[in-house]
A and B are shown apart, each in its own frame.
Chain A
């Protein structure tokens, strides 16, 4: 069974700074990886699919990269609305989420 590991668990960043989030799969998932953002009390929102394709309406400051087992979500300049929890999800096999990274204000 594939295991999705996200790091760090918590990332403290100042507004305007760059945030880099990691997601590792225990075996290759090719480019079948998505990223979601979740704010308190809300459902997750799809940000990225195919490892690097932004979903409709997602700002260009969000970018995804990677393939195989190592993936990165980068937020180039954090805005106040970007402080949230971020999840990766592989869909190479049965859909499976990582444990999440909380991006908090430094």
Chain B
């Protein structure tokens, strides 16, 4: 059974970088049949799929158009985890952030991290 454990700060200042990590157990970040995703949820934007990383003989990343210029998702094979970096955050980026496993739908989810963007 796949388990995902999120970590990272819950408060980020405007214009700074939001950074979260998702540790994987029960699967490998390098799996050829999985994808590793970040999804966020806020009252104003609902559930929003931000992006994913996956390995198919080489690494690929896909990002939502809404955050494409600000987002990076990186795998860390040495620690079997993946990370989210979102640059130049504003209060609009305040949300609960989830990591999730799934190629087209999210089959396993992390516990969620409330990230507040405020000075």
Does A pair with B? yes
Checking B65, B98, B105, B112 against A89 with a beta-carbon cut-off of 8 angstroms, the contacting residue is B105
The distance in angstroms between the C-alpha atoms of A45 and B100, with both chains bound, is: 11
Interface residues in A1-40 by Cβ distance below 8 A to B read: 32, 34, 36
**Which of A59-67, A68-76, A93-101 participates in binding chain B?**
A93-101
Tally chain B residues at the interface, Cβ within 8 Å: 18
Tally chain A residues at the interface, Cβ within 8 Å: 18
Does B46 reach chain A (CB closer than 8 Å)?
Answer: yes
Does A87 reach chain B (CB closer than 8 Å)?
Answer: yes
Checking B48, B100, B102, B107 against A97 with a beta-carbon cut-off of 8 angstroms, the contacting residue is B48
Q: Are A99 and B107 in contact (CB under 8 A)?
A: no
B contact set with A: CB distance below 8 Å: 46-49, 62, 64-65, 98, 100, 102, 104-107, 109-112
